Amino acid sequence: MNEKNGLTRRNFLKKGAMVTAIGAACATGMVETASAKTGTYATLIDLTKCDGCKNEPIPKCVEACRRENEKKFPNPVEPIKDLWPQKTHDDWSKKRDVMNTLTPYNWTTVQKVDMEGEEIFIPRRCMHCDNPPCANLCPFGALNKYSDGSVAINHDLCMGGAKCKAVCPWHIPQRQSGVGIYLKLQPIPAGGGVMYKCDLCHERIKKGQVPACVEACEKRLGAKKPLFFGRRDAILKMAHERAKEINGFIYGEKENGGTATLYLSRIPFERIDSKLKEAKSNLTMEKVLNPLRDVNRWAKGFVITPLISALGAIGLALYRRNKEGKEKDK
């Protein structure tokens, strides 16, 4: 799979053609779900050990994530234009310090629920599904699922259409308007910025390092750490052994077809999910099926129609720019 982020007119349109084929496959029922592969990496988050770093100014996993990814954070161009055809836009640039939810500037957050007097802290970030609907259904092919288990957004290709957020069971990706390639291609009937989320520290994994959040957690707590990272089969084995030891429960092994973010708890996740919903949290812990199980019924309208319009508009914009350039050279 190509991991280069460079963007040229030719490879952008080439990518668009590939996505058209993917969209057609979705609409005709060729896309199927898959269970998580054991060759990938995964993270285990043991909720019985996480204390939310409540005695620290900032949870260490959140702090490490922000520091590691700060160079990727968006710097929007002012004034930020409204989305097309809506009359609104998404702007987190004045709220960069917000840490109690996921934003384009905060890719990890820690939730807290009170379960009959016991505080449960839940580090949340992208689940990195094995069969991610966000990557499979992105109209512009801006998301990639890599062999290490990570799902990453190519910010050079993303146009902020937010289809990834719409099909994500946890609504993880967040949009920042006023940035991205769409600024150079307006007006087009799609997009409005760039989507951002945890990429499992994909670049660190390529170098043989662990994700920044896992490293920070271990530095603070050592052997008592609640975050573990390794090959998914080993992590899953660890999760089952620990669950058997505490008569606990696992989340992420089967949810959405399997994920690279696994949770362990003494308390059933249905109860934790109920508490999160009571608190009106956008990040729940439902037992979700992969949306691709049902996507064939509506993919044609959801993917193909906007895709054809968007690619047509992009092609027209590029044609006009090319034509104007030639006329100037005469």
The confidence score (pLDDT) of residue 45 equals 98
Half-sphere exposure of residue 184: CA atoms within 13 angstroms, side-chain side: 11
Tell me: pLDDT of 267 over 50. Answer: yes
Q: How confident is the model at residue 171 (pLDDT cuts 50, 70, 90)?
A: very high
Per the model's pLDDT, the better-predicted residue between 32 and 217 turns out to be 217
Q: Which of 74-83, 179-188, 276-285 has the lowest mean pLDDT?
A: 179-188
Nearest to 198 by CA among 129, 288, 252, 285: 129
CATH 3.30.70.20 correct for 38-292 = yes
Nearest to 220 by CA among 64, 60, 111: 60
pLDDT tens-place string over residues 211-240 = 999 999 999 999 999 999 999 999 999 999
The confidence score (pLDDT) of residue 281 equals 92
User: Residue 71, Cβ neighbours under 10 Å: how many?
Assistant: 6
| % of the chain residues with pLDDT over 70 | 74
Nearest to 149 by CA among 210, 67, 191, 72: 210
| Average pLDDT, integer, range 180-203 | 84
The contacts found for 25-32 with CB under 8 angstroms, 24 or more apart, are 26/136, 26/137, 26/292, 26/295, 26/296, 26/299, 26/300, 26/303, 27/296, 27/299, 27/300, 27/303, 27/304, 28/296, 29/296, 31/136, 31/292, 31/295, 31/296, 31/299, 32/292
| Average pLDDT, integer, range 260-276 | 97
DSSP-assigned beta bridge partners for residue 118: 115
| Average pLDDT, integer, range 253-258 | 94
Tell me: pLDDT of 27 over 60. Answer: no
The confidence score (pLDDT) of residue 42 equals 97
pTM across the whole model: 0.79
Q: Where are the domains of the chain?
A: 38-292
pLDDT tens-place string over residues 93-141 = 999 999 999 999 999 999 999 998 899 999 999 999 999 999 998 988 9
User: Residue 42, Cβ neighbours under 10 Å: how many?
Assistant: 28
Please provide the average confidence, as pLDDT, over all residues in the chain.
83
Q: How confident is the model at residue 309 (pLDDT cuts 50, 70, 90)?
A: very low
Tell me: pLDDT of 15 over 50. Answer: no
> Residue 124: phi, psi to the nearest 5?
-125, 140
The confidence score (pLDDT) of residue 264 equals 98
